[in-house]
Amino acid sequence: MTIRIGLNGVGRIGRNLWRIIHTSVPDVDVVVANDTADLDTVAHLLRYDSIRGPFPGEVRAGRGAIRVDDTTVALTHLPRPDQLDWRSYDVDLAIEATGQFTRGDSARGHLIAGAPLVVISTASPDADVSLMMGLNEHDFDPGQHRVVSNSCCTTYCMATMLSPLHQAYGVGKASASIAYSHGSRPGPLLDGVHHNLRMARANATNLVPANVPGVRHALDRVLPELAGQVAATAIRVPVTAVSAATLTLRLQAPANADDINHTLTQASLSILKDYLAVSHAPLVSTDLLGSTASCVVDAELTTVLDDLVRVVGWYDNEWGYAHRLIDLARFLTCQTGG
C-alpha cells in the first residue's frame, strides 16, 4: 500500500521530506503540495539546496504542478489549511510544515479540507496528542486523535537520551544546553529588526541565545514522568546544519560513564533502534551531516561527577526529523487502516 501525503509548506522540512520520499521511500508519495511562494521559486529551491546539494532527480516547473522525474505533483498556493482540497487527492494524511499552523485549532483546517489525519511538523501545546517514535507512539488512539504533533527535532534528541537513562537510573533533575545551527531557522545576515532583540542580531557572526519554549511543553507531553524536571536553553551557532544537545542530569542511582554509555547503546539496539545511535569517534558537527538518527550520542564526552552526569547528543536537525515524519506517517496509517 502506498501512503498518499498532502504537504502544506515546502520549506526546509518540506523539501527535505520530499527529497527523502522521492529517493528512498517507495511506499510513500507526495501527491499534492501547497505553498504561498510562486511555483518557479518552489521548484528552484527543491532543485538546488545549499546544504543537501542538487536534488537527485530532474525537477521541472509545469502548469500548476512540479514534475519530479516522471512524477507530477500538483502545487497550490492557498493561505489557509481549510481552503485546501485534500479530499480531491484522496490523501491519507496531511503534513502541516509551514510553521504557522501549529496550534490544534488552526491545524484542524486540514480536517475540514478532507484530510483524515494531520501531522504537525513541530511541537504543539494543544494538538490532540504529541507522539515520538520509539517513546510513546502507542499512546495514539485512532478514535480520539486526529491532529498529531511529531514534537520537534531538539525534543527528539533530548528525549531519546533521557528516556533510557530515566528507566535505568531515575532522573531527578536535568538541564540542557543546545548548540543550535542557525541554518535550520534562517535569521538575519546583518543586524535587523525583530521583536526578540537577541534574534535581531546577525546569526552568521554571533552566538545568539535563544528561547526553546517548544522543548519544555513537548517534553512534558512525551515524557510526563519528567514533567517540570527538565530546563533547556539554546545558543544559535553560525553553522548551516547539525546541532548538539548537552544534558546535565542528576541521577537517583549510581552509574559511571561506561554504565551510561552501555545503557544508551543497548537502547539504540532495541526499542530506539534507528532513532538513537552511539558513537565512540571524535566527532565534529559536519561528521553528522546526513545522519538519519534523531540523536547520536558522543560517548567520548560522557562524564560522571558523583551523581551528576553529562551526555552529549548530535543531530542533523532537518534530516533526522524528516525521517521521523515518515516513520510516524507509516505508523499512523497502519493504526487507522489507511
Instruction: Report the binding-site residues.
Output: 12-13, 35, 121, 317
- The SS3 assignment for 80 reads coil
- Detail the DSSP E strand segments found in 194-264: 208-210, 230-237, 243-251
Task: Give the residue numbers of the binding site for NAD(+).
Answer: 12-13, 35, 121, 317
Spatial contact of 7 and 75, defined as CB atoms under 8 Å apart: no
User: CA nearest 320: which of 338, 298, 293?
Assistant: 293
DSSP H or E run through 297 = strand 295-298
- Beta-carbon contacts of residue 299 (< 8 Å; ≥ 6 apart): 261, 264, 265, 278, 279, 280
DSSP H or E run through 295 = strand 295-298
Spatial contact of 142 and 118, defined as CB atoms under 8 Å apart: no
- The SS3 assignment for 29 reads strand
Calculate the alpha carbon distances from 274 to 217, 247, 312 in Å: 25, 21, 18
DSSP 2: P
Q: Which of these is catalytic: 152, 153, 157, 295? A: 153
Q: Are strands 243-251 and 171-181 parallel, antiparallel or unpaired?
A: antiparallel
Spatial contact of 172 and 305, defined as CB atoms under 8 Å apart: no
Instruction: Cell numbers for 28, please give them.
Output: 510513500
CA distance 194 to 335: 43
Torsion of the alpha carbons at 233, 238, 243 and 248, rounded to the nearest 10: -40
User: CA nearest 152: which of 328, 38, 321?
Assistant: 321
Annotation says 153 is catalytic: yes
Known catalytic residues? Answer: 153
